[in-house]
Chain A
Amino acid sequence: MNRYLLRRLGQAIITLIGVSMVVFLLTRMSGDPALLMAPQDATEKDIERIRLELGLDQPVHVQYVKYAWGVLRGDFGRSFRFDRPALDMFLERFPNTLKLSLVALFLAVAIGIPTGILSAVKVERGFDRFGKIFALFGQALPRFWLGIILISLFATTLKILPTSGMGTWKHYVLPSVTLAWFATASLTRLSRSSMLDVLDAEYIKMARIKGLPEFWVILKHGFRNAMSPVVTMLGLQFVALLNGAVITETIFTWPGVGRLIVEAIFARDFPVVQMCVLIASFLFVFINLFVDVLYAYIDPRIRYQ
């Protein structure tokens, strides 16, 4: 177990070092930061001074090591636009994204899993037709379009919900539905196919033969076994929600990290972009690692692969 853990941890660290290099190089490719930071009327000499201050006269690998050392100590650089630590800006916005994502995750789980399970139980009959169409719609509806349609229906036509911003619980309804839509469809699909696999198993037949009521067969023997791939997906879905936050927050002007990234990109505020990408990848890698290790702990077969 320890060797497996070490190997996976090593892989995660290598991935993160790679990500930090890629992010660092990408933002260097985008142009001279000194030119971006300098005021409009700066002379050649001023720009040269800024360049020296930022250490841009040094070789790229030295710059990277300095950058990486800073990141390890929690120094992600300063925003060009607001001249304050990028980390502060991120931390200000992150709780808002987290709240929205948690509501969306709750919606996706509460709707997606029961729909998928019921679809599998009633396979190729009434409810399954509905479940399949639901999953299909969820995967094909572009999120940005859904958001706009919801706004035009519920906010501007019926006037029962606000169009944008953050405040009361009403502000959560449209953004969280928009954000949850795709995840709900994926969960429906996955829990349906997983449940179908499980319902084929011998132990389900056994449970039926021994006369257990169908309700308990489904819940105790079917549902519990069908959930393991679904739980794996949940970790990934949660990160995918953070991904979807970019579009959702832009549409609903939600003050979260997704909108921060888009704003920073348009303002060419690269330290902020750099940090957001890095933290998003950190989250992804560590949630994945956590899920994998948890799995290896539960199921010894995985460790020896």
Chain B
Amino acid sequence: MVKFLAFFRNAPFFPLAVLAAFVFLGVFGEWIAPHDPVEGSLMDSLTPPFWEAGGKWKYPLGTDSLGRDILSRIMGGAGISLQIGILVVFVAGLMGTLLACLAGYLGGAVDTVIMRVVDLVMSIPYLVLAIVLAAILGASVYNIIIILGAVIWTYYCRVLRSEVLRLRESDFVRLAVVGGCSKGKIMLVHIFPNIVNTLVVIATLNLGTVIIAESSLSFLGLGVPPPSPAWGSMVADGRDYVGQAWWVSFWPGLAIFLVVMSFNLVGDWLRVRLDPKFRQMAGGS
């Protein structure tokens, strides 16, 4: 326990608090939201936030064009964004790690084939690839996870493969080979535990990227289908009312910004904490 707490010394307080708050909303949002996130009352459409003229306390952050409470929708959207983010990172991380171990450790033809596939996927602009896939497979939460997972695993594979290559030449792995350890066991017992730290760092930094990618798809109308309160589609809802109702787009965008920034800050902290050698990782929309 003491060891566990010591890990969090120097942890960035603000981003962790923001993430904790959004995770809480994601899990309990349905029960504590003041209104139904999907049903609105047309009588109250485009009500401004409470401090503006015409605003009501009933709708603290205002309502959208269908009279739906924006606060409740943001609470509902937290669950969607975080779930998609975490599942995509899980799928991509699993696939990327597995293939990185195979490519890096086995080398030869396996390595060549896997890395050519990585090059192939990376050479198509990822947002373009994702919208093409979304248009073909159709928009659903399930499909978004598959689509983004299928695009993003390449980052994991590329970064982790170079780690595996480095580990393969290390003394303890050579010793295991001499000791008659099987290839599968070497990868699982000797190599995998040594790339976990890097994996955790990439995954945290990647969560922000995935959330932006998911909301970009939803913004274009190719992501989470309506009427689900996805943050990206909420921003898109406000596009037509920019002049008269700034709040419709503003709040969900702020939520995305806060969550993504927090994941990036926590990722930066973890990077220094877990692996001082680890440098930059590219990504973003």
Residues of A within 8 A of B (CB): 11, 14-16, 18-19, 22-23, 26-27, 29-30, 136-137, 139-145, 148-149, 151-152, 155-157, 163, 182, 186, 189-190, 193, 236, 239-240, 242-244, 246-247, 250-251, 261-262, 265-266, 268, 273, 276-277, 280-281, 284-285, 288
Contact = CB atoms under 8 A, between A and B. Distances in A.
A9 to B, nearest CB: 13
A143 B125 contact: no
A149 B249 CA distance: 8
B94 interface: no
Interface in B47-63: none
Nearest to A264: B135
Interface stretch (B22-30, B67-75, B102-110, B239-247): B239-247
B86 to A, nearest CB: 18
B257 A182 contact: no
Contact of A189 (B219, B221, B280): B280
A140 B131 contact: no
A284 B125 contact: yes
A15 B117 CA distance: 8
Contacts of B282: 186, 236
Contact of A265 (B124, B132, B264): B132
Interface in B183-211: 208
B219 A144 contact: yes
A144 B284 CA distance: 13
25 contacts: A11-B116, A22-B120, A22-B124, A142-B260, A142-B285, A143-B216, A144-B216, A145-B235, A145-B253, A156-B243, A186-B282, A240-B125, A242-B125, A243-B285, A246-B125, A246-B220, A247-B127, A262-B220, A265-B131, A265-B132, A280-B125, A281-B123, A281-B124, A284-B124, A288-B123
B136 A30 contact: yes
B129 interface: yes
The 8 closest A-B pairs by CB, nearest first: A145-B253, A140-B261, A156-B243, A243-B125, A140-B260, A18-B120, A30-B136, A265-B135
Given A142-B232, A190-B280, 4 more contacts: A27-B136, A144-B219, A145-B253, A157-B243
A243 B127 contact: yes
Nearest to B130: A246
A151 B261 CA distance: 23
A151 B265 CA distance: 28
